[in-house]
Amino acid sequence: MTLGAMPFAAPVSYAPGISPPAALAGREALWFLVRGTQILVSQTATEVPLLPQPPLPLLREHYLGTLGASAVPAVPSVAADRAVFAGEVAAQCDAPTGWRWSDLRPLFSTANESLVALAGRAVQIIDWDRSHQYCGRCGGPTRHSAGDRSRECPACGLSAYPRLAPVMMALVRRPPDRILLARSPRFPAGMYSALAGFVEAGETLEQCVHREIAEEVGITVRNLRYFASQPWPFPHSLMIAFICDYDGGELNPDRVEIEAAEWFRLDALPALPTRISIARRLIDATVADMRARGRESTG
């Protein structure tokens, strides 16, 4: 199966870091300014501010890393290595003249993918910092750790790192020409996707695949194969996708998380998720592979 660059994955020439390198001191930096979950972008294009200092007062800021110029050839303003920063502004802060606030999802179809990936990282880091100003154990104020990206409590010693919630995704095949797709009550009308669920404490990814499929649609599967993973900043997940084969049982949606599930023929698929998600990449790649195998078996 062929797989292109995954949306929201870090650019190849991006190097994460905690402190900006001295070589970039005084050079214009890429500033991802965050208001809630929105990013500041230009009115006429979807670029982020490239400035020595941010144009708005900040509540907090983080150095994210260094972006190499080769990562964004479609953005003329990034013509040299740049330090990358995330900064949070107040909820009531208006955009400066020539700029606007944008959610992340619309940027995927209009902005450079490298910038979208870093915007997703910026939103997640700001959300984590905002949410951990006080210790979850003793309630005392926290402070930034000098050695890594964490907030530590000087009173009780608890450290809080940026949260990451692993989510498994699984597409079940029923060769030669069917795949299992399901819909959540939250989906747009008519849309179906692969099954997915959060990994529980003490559980492997493989165990999660088997459990979620059994709980949500009542069947068993076999022959699990890893497909790919995707950062998903809505708000802080990591999607880990698998392909597997039907083993046994009758479809029985749980009617809570899954309202409908069906075996769809490859030539009669329903509305699918947008290409921003790994779900669509998983479905498209699996369908293409099954069709190719079908042609080989009949050729």
247-270 pLDDT, tens digit each: 999 999 999 999 999 999 999 999
pTM above 0.75, yes or no: yes
Q: What confidence tens digit (pLDDT) does each residue in 205-251 have?
A: 999 999 999 999 999 999 999 999 999 999 899 999 999 999 999 99
CATH number for the domain running over 165-298? 3.90.79.10
In the chain, where are the structural domains located? 14-131, 165-298
Comparing 14-131 with 165-298, is the CATH topology the same? yes
Residue 146 burial (10 A CB sphere; 0-12, 13-18, 19+)? exposed
CATH number for the domain running over 14-131? 3.90.79
Q: What confidence tens digit (pLDDT) does each residue in 156-173 have?
A: 999 999 999 999 999 999
What is the percent of the chain where pLDDT is above 90?
75
| Among 88, 84, 110, 72, residue whose Cα is nearest residue 39 | 88
Flag whether pLDDT at 2 surpasses 50: no
